[in-house]
Amino acid sequence: MSQKIRFAIVGFGNIGRRHAGHIMHNEATELVAICDLRDEANSGLPDGVAFYYHLETLLAMEQVDVLCVCTPNFLHEPHTIAALQAGVHVVVEKPMALSTDECDCMIAAAVLAGKTIFAVKQNRYNPPVREVKKLIDSGRLGQIFMVQVNCFWNRGDAYYAESDWRGKKKKDGGCLFTQFSHFIDILYYLNGTIASVAGTIHNYSHQHNTEVEDTGSFSMKAENGAIVNFNFTTCAYQKNMEGSITLFAEKGTVKIGGQYLNTIEYQQLEGEALPEINISAKSNDYGLYQGSMSNHDKVIKNVVDVLQHNDTIMTTAEEGREVVHIIEQMYFAATDII
């Protein structure tokens, strides 16, 4: 067996802890170090895992193959570039960064270092998404006419109180970056890039604790000619309600639904039907709120498969950049209803 791949994590909050669990669980990987600003992050670390307050020190002191960047959105670019310049591959949490300029700097640093950036878009592994992706790629759905994306989640005061970067324009970027970039990624993954955008956003019930919108509606045209409607809110009353994407196409209609793209909720297809899929218990549960499907084990496995077996990267840096580009297009076009 090859040597274990040595991982470190910067940012040991909600998602950093999940990365740690999966790295420790995978037989081909080992967790060697954690970096976080908070003292609490240093308590209860497994034996042999070193703790650092500064990423630069960690990178200088430890022999690391891969760094998982799990810090707030605005730190993805500097932390990724620091790791690449130290000769370390990077797994970067979503969103890849807060602008395409930042993404371009990250990609240039990876090319210069000869290292790889793995963008985290774990919803691509959701079984319903995989089935629909195969359906589209096989040509069985024919031309896609219209795509409807609904993201109706709830984010309450406790969520914003938990971490000081959330809801801040410069650190978080807004709901399209933090909550709904997963859905923009699946829209891009299934239907391609966006050609034109019109939309409206507003902050209805989070004005007391956020600087960003909490609701929006966009009408877009995709490069493939399809009309795309994208509606989102974090004001769904008391709990997440729906996270869905519906495709209306020449040879079928299919809806991936549930709260987090976890079921095939509707299908009417020419030819053979897709398997019934209804996964109800596998979202990331953070106690105060529910996130997306918990597929980070597959993200870590993909890193191993790429680095040890020359496999294909599930989500490349260029794809992570394209998602950021679509979000930029949406915010650029959006008007506030005030």
Return the number of the residue (159 or 218) whose C-beta is nearest ligand NAD: 159
In angstroms, what is the minimal distance from the CB of 52 to ligand NAD?
Answer: 9
Residue 268 contacts residue 253 (beta carbons within 8 Å): yes
User: Which residues have CB under 8 Å from 95's CB, separation 6+?
Assistant: 73, 76, 173, 177, 178, 181, 320, 323, 324, 327
Return the number of the residue (13 or 252) whose C-beta is nearest ligand NAD: 13
Closest CA to 318 of 145, 92, 3, 167: 92
Length of the chain as a residue count: 338
The β-bridge partners of 220 are 197, 228
Gap between the Cα atoms of 21 and 38, Å rounded: 19
User: Which residues have CB under 8 Å from 259's CB, separation 6+?
Assistant: 153, 240, 241, 242, 243, 283, 290
In angstroms, what is the minimal distance from the CB of 110 to ligand NAD?
Answer: 18
Select the residue whose beta carbon is closest to ligand NAD and give its number.
13
Instruction: Note the residues at the interface with ligand NAD (CB under 6 A).
Output: 10-16, 35-38, 41, 55, 70-73, 75, 93-94, 120, 122, 163, 178, 284, 291-292
In angstroms, what is the minimal distance from the CB of 90 to ligand NAD?
Answer: 13
In angstroms, what is the minimal distance from the CB of 252 to ligand NAD?
Answer: 29
Residue 317 contacts residue 89 (beta carbons within 8 Å): no
In angstroms, what is the minimal distance from the CB of 163 to ligand NAD?
Answer: 3
Return the number of the residue (91 or 144) whose C-beta is nearest ligand NAD: 91
Return the number of the residue (35 or 197) whose C-beta is nearest ligand NAD: 35
Return the number of the residue (148 or 294) whose C-beta is nearest ligand NAD: 294
In angstroms, what is the minimal distance from the CB of 190 to ligand NAD?
Answer: 18
Return the number of the residue (262 or 267) whose C-beta is nearest ligand NAD: 262
Return the number of the residue (92 or 197) whose C-beta is nearest ligand NAD: 92
Gap between the Cα atoms of 148 and 170, Å rounded: 29
In angstroms, what is the minimal distance from the CB of 100 to ligand NAD?
Answer: 17
Residue 309 Cα distances to 1, 89, 113, 115, 314, angstroms: 12, 15, 20, 16, 14
Gap between the Cα atoms of 119 and 91, Å rounded: 6
Return the number of the residue (93 or 214) whose C-beta is nearest ligand NAD: 93
Tokens 């240039």 correspond to what residue?
108
DSSP-assigned states of every residue in 277-321: -B--S-EEE-SSSEEEE--HHHHHHHHHHHHHH----SSBHHHHH
Closest CA to 187 of 336, 330, 299: 330
3-state secondary structure of 243: strand
Angle at 122 between CA 49 and CA 50, to 5 degrees: 5
In angstroms, what is the minimal distance from the CB of 282 to ligand NAD?
Answer: 12
Return the number of the residue (34 or 144) whose C-beta is nearest ligand NAD: 34
In angstroms, what is the minimal distance from the CB of 11 to ligand NAD?
Answer: 3
Amino acid at 164: D
